[in-house]
Structure formats: structure tokens, C-alpha cells
Structure 1
Amino acid sequence: MNNVVAIEQQATQQQVIQMLKPLLEEGCITQSQLAKEIGNSGAVISQYLKGNYGGDVDAVTEKLSHWLNMRKTRNSQIVAPGFVETQTAKQILNALNYAHAAELISVVFGASGVGKSTTCRQYINSNNNCWMITASPAVSGIGECLYEIALELGMDDAPKRKGSLSRAIKRRLTGTGGLLIVDEADHLDYPSLEALRILQEQTGIGMVLVGNNRVYSQLTGGRRNEDFARLFSRVSKKVGIHKAKQNDVNAIANAWQISDQPARNLLQKIAERPGALRNLNQVLRLAATMANGVGKAIDEALIKQAFRELEGDVQ
């Protein structure tokens, strides 16, 4: 390496270090988190920042430059409004509150993208002793489901065997007066649902099963035989939400300060498509970024442009 190249590399390294130092000093990020986000060890970052890293300095400089560029891009994005209490959100919150207070089981089921998961997280943030797990194809059996609950409860040393795990969770939950939310519960098989029912009865906590329409059919088995009736009869409140409501769209439009009626009409059409309010918020975030770039309010034209970029044309 000739001296000119070496000087240029050192200058680039110093420039990156000078950009990182204020972020680290102000607590925007820690060295360990920075190392994790670029895929290096904390020791590498520490040595690099001190200017005495003996490894491939150029490779670390490149990674950190990419990280800084991505941070700049993220900061340029418009911050969406916080939780919007739509009419549908109120329905879900009522179901959660009822199950929590009455220490019973509720089920919230229906269309995707209407705010079920977001509303559940909002409830957890606003209440004590509330926990939420998310089922999946990998977390569908009894053992996996119970272990997810244990991790959510902070039981990092929980036993792996189902019997011991179940008893440990029971001891942890009994007397808490808490609420356990199981999102994407449509992935759970019948034995897992039965295990949750028994856990709820033994501990006296509230429980809410959240998912698509399949979670409802899972509770009935498509029929009312004795086994499924035993489970279904324990569900005290059933809330079916099959599409986004016009009032939901109006509440979101108000939160984004959109008063233009043609724009609001277009938002309603977008919310009627699969993905409902989730897609609507994604479109609005992009439209807001576009609006910020040209110094104007979100209007129908920008919403159309954002929608085309994200999903395709809308008539």
C-alpha cells in the first residue's frame, strides 16, 4: 500500500469516527449494539474507534459507512402517528379488558390488517402483568407454545420437558391477576389450545386468543363434538372483525391530518383491499415522505403515487 492510499484510508476512518462519536456520547447507540448491527464484535469497534485496530480497517470502515447511511435514510422517514384508537381498536380493547378483569378467555378473530396485534401491544403497554406470545408454524405444538410463554415471563432457565415446564409456568402465573395474549393463535393445534385452557383455569389469569377466522374454527373443530364443546364453552367473549370500518379510516386520516375529501375517499378504497389498515398505514408513510420532500400536505395524488409504488395501480 503506497503512502497516498494509506493517508486516504486513515482520513476516511477518522471521518467515520468523528461521525460516530457524538452518537455514542449522546447515548443514541452503544458500542455493543453498533457492533451487533454491523456484524462485528464489541472489541473490534472499540479498537477501531481508538485507531489501533490491527485487522481489516477498510472492511470495518465500509460497514460503518453503510450503517451511517442507513441511519440517515431512516431519520429522513416521516414518523407515523402513535397508536390510533379506531372503532375496531376499541372493540379489541374491550375484549382484552373484559378477559383481564373477569379472568376468563376471549377470542378476537377475523381479517388481517385491522389492527389486532397493534392494539394488543398497546394494551400491554398500558397495563400491568400482561404478556403476549406469537404462535407460528414453528410454535404450534404444546412444548413450543409453553416455552414461548416461559420466555415471555422471563423464565430463561425454564425446563424443557413439557410436564415440568407446565408446572413451572403455572407457579409463575398463579396469583398474578395477569393477562396472557396469544397472537396468531390460528397456528395452534387442538392439544395446544387445550393446554392453554387448562393453564387458564388453573392459574385464574385472563387469556385472549387472537388470529384470523381459522382460530374460531379451531375452537369448534368445524363441529360441536364433546371435546371441542368443552373448549369452546370456556370462551366467554367472541369478537369477530371481518373488515376495516369507515370510522377506522376516518380516525387514521384525522391522525395524519388529512382533510382533503378526495384523499379520504381514496383511503377508504385502499382499506377495503386485503391488508386493510396495515396497508393503509404503509401507503400513508410513503405518501408523507413524498409530501415532506416537496413541501406540501398529503393529497389524493400523493396517495395514488405511493400506492402505485407499493402495490400497483388503483382505480
Structure 2
Amino acid sequence: MINVKDLPVDVEEMRLWIVGHREMTDPPVPWAQLSRETGIPAGTLQPFCAGTYQGNNENIARRLFQFMQSVEAKEKRQQSLPVNPGFIETETSQRLMMLLEIAHMGRITVGATGPGTGKTKTVREYAERAGMVWTATMKPSTNRLLPMILEVHKALKLDPRRLSTADASRIVIERVRGRKGLLVIDEANFLGIEGIEEIRNWHDETGVGVCFLGNEELLARIETGRHRDQFARLNRRIAMRHVQRLPTRTDVAQFCDGWQITQPDIRAYLEKIALTPDSGGLGECQQLIEAGSMLAAADDESRGLSLSDLREAQMYRATRWIRA
């Protein structure tokens, strides 16, 4: 990239570039979106592209030159990335699929897994395969009952409305009743007791399948926590549990196969990262592969990913404390 603050910019060249950039997609990028991306008001951008802008055209061209440089840099970085294989079926994903399938039969299941075990990707893949799956991802702000219910409303694609807690819950019941669907509650460890019990009640009233997914803390709270007596009704209804803190060695091998990593030293390195507690598992491995590939391309586009590239990428990541 170059700094064009004090350099002349060809106004006509930038006009042609931004028009071509906008029309690369079908339909063309909406003016409002292009305005947000460039930081230039649509009321200025449109007449500039039409050649009718009465203001300082060179200033607009200069800002568009900066935007063009960022677009080209992003495209270059994208070209250096390996092809993402998407969903990779692993030993752990098969276990999680079973949890989802059993829940979809109208039961309640619980999965407590660590980060980087493929939980979220498996849910997305299952939803693509099975249909009638609603995934509500919880967060700290959904600890209270009404925010939790409204998060489920979003998953069910219900229009946002101002509702009482009781009315919001009733609408969920009406929506899922008789549809033989599956409600996946991801990051369920953020839920309070009331939220978990409300979801259990939806299951009791409608027969909707429910799969609670979260970390190990979730299952510990339900089974052995200080509120375990309050979860007694839920515990009786749990058809299957799965607890797993880390990916398995087979998971890592299948992950490497999916990313077409054949070098034994790199596979061993990634296995050490993935199987280290609190490292981020397979998600961290993907980050390192992508970052290492960009470093390799910056050094020499003709060579492939090497172990030294991954080690250098690790220096900039939170896993730098792992001696892999």
C-alpha cells in the first residue's frame, strides 16, 4: 500500500474502478452498503460515479484509492489462504450428531464439550441435513428469562415485538407445537435456572426435541451443582449426555486429512496444539494453518506451508505458551 495523502490521484480512473467494483456482483452492490464500506455518503458517491458531483472530486477519488488498496490487500490475503474444506466429519462430530438425532426424536439431550471440538459446525451441518432445526445461541445477557425467550424468538424467525414474559413463552409453544422440530440451545452454560426450566417446560408441553450444548460447567450445574435438586425434573428427562473436554487424536487426524495436511511434522505439531487443554482445539489449528499460509505466501508464493510458518504464526497467537 502507498500513502496518497499528498500524491495526485486520477479522478477518472477511480470513477471507473468504483463503478466496476460495484457491478462485479449481480445485482450490483446497493449504494447504502457501498457507502458504509467506503465511508463516503451515498449522496456524494452516486453523483461522483455518474460524473455529476459538484464538490471536490479529487478528495473523493483519494478516499476511493484508499478503499481500493484495502480491497486489493484483502483479495491478496484471501488468495494465499488454503481452501477451507468446510464441515469435516470427525469421531467427535459423529457423537454430537447422535445427540442431535436422538433429541430430534422428541427427547432432551445434553452435550458438554470444550472449545474446538466442532460443536457449532456439527449443529450447522445437521440443520442442513435434517431441516426443522432452530438454533438459539445464548450469551451472558440471556441469563434472565425474557432475554432468553427473545433469543429463541430470533431462532424461530418470529417478528420482534414488545411482549410480557408469559406471552413471549406462549408464542414459542404455539410455534413449535406439532412440528416435530429440534430446538438447539448453544452456549447453554450462560442460562440461569429459570431459563433452563422454561425450555424444559416447552418440551413437556409440545414434545419439541431439545439439545442443550455448552461446556463442562453446564453438565456439572445440572447434575452436581448446588441447584441440582431444582434440576431433578430435567435430569429425569435427559435421554443422552456427552462430555468431552478435548478433541480426540482421531479428530486431529481427520482434520488434517480434510485440510490436506500430509507432512508428518506439521500433523504432529497440530496434534500437540489441539490436545493441549485450553488451547482452542481444532479451531486454533485452523487459525494457525490460515495465518501460517499467509506468512508462507508473503515469503515465497511458490512454496507451501512449513512447520516454521506455523511456529511463527503461533508466536502471534494465544497458544504461544504451548511448546509444540
- TM-score when scaled to structure 1? 0.87
Are the equivalent residues in 2 in contact too, given 1:146–1:165 (CA < 8 A)? yes
Distance 1:185 1:39, change over 3 A: farther
Alignment of 1:1-315 (within 5 A): 8=9, 10-11=11-12, 13-24=14-25, 26-27=26-27, 29-39=29-39, 42-53=42-53, 58=59, 61=64, 64-65=67-68, 68-69=71-72, 71-73=74-76, 75-78=78-81, 79-100=83-104, 102-220=105-223, 222-223=225-226, 226-273=229-276, 274-292=279-297, 293-311=300-318, 312=320, 314-315=323-324
Matches of 1:23 and 1:43, distance apart in 2: 21
| Pairwise CA distance, 1:225 | 5.1
Residue deviations 1:212-251 (CA, integer Å, cap 9, x gap): 1111123235157542211222211101111111111101
Residues 145-188 of structure 1 deviation map (CA, whole Å, 9 limit, x = unaligned): 11011122111144421111111111111111111111111010
1:55 deviation in Å? Answer: 6.1
Unaligned runs of 5+ in 1: none
Q: 1:182 to 1:77 in 2, by over 3 A?
A: farther
CA contact (8 A) 1:183 1:211 kept: yes
Per the TM alignment, residue 45 of structure 1 is displaced from its structure 2 partner at its CA by 4.0
Contact 2:150 2:168 in 1 (8 A): yes
**SS in structure 2 at match of 1:11:** helix
The alpha-carbon deviation at position 107 of structure 1 amounts to 0.7
Q: CA deviation at 1:36?
A: 3.6
Which secondary structure does the structure 2 equivalent of 1:180 belong to? strand
- Please state whether the residue corresponding to 1:182 is helix, strand or coil: strand
Aligned length: 309
Measured after TM superposition, the shift of residue 94 of structure 1 is 1.1
Please give the secondary structure, in 1, of the residue aligned with 2:163. Answer: coil
Question: Structure 1 pair 22/77, CA: closer, same or farther in 2 (3 Å)?
Answer: farther
Counterpart Cα distance in 2 of 1:217 and 1:168? 31
Judge which range, 180-189 or 251-260, deviates more.
Answer: 251-260
Say whether the 8 Å CA contact 1:114–1:276 is kept in structure 2.
Answer: yes
Contact 1:108–1:209 (8 Å) recurs in 2? yes
Preserved CA contact (<8 Å) 2:109 2:238:
yes
Q: Is the 8 A contact 1:190 1:218 kept in 2?
A: no
Structure 1 CA distance for aligned equivalents of residues 117 and 125 of structure 2: 14
Compare 292-301 and 186-195 and name the one that shifted more. Answer: 292-301
C-alpha separation between the residues in 2 aligned to 1:41 and 1:169?
41
Q: Contact 1:147 / 1:160 at 8 angstroms: preserved in 2?
A: no
| Contact residue 108 and residue 239 of structure 1 kept, 8 A | yes
SS at match of 2:85: coil
State the identity as a percent: 24
SS in 1 for 2:242: strand
CA distance in 2, matches of 1:291, 1:236: 48
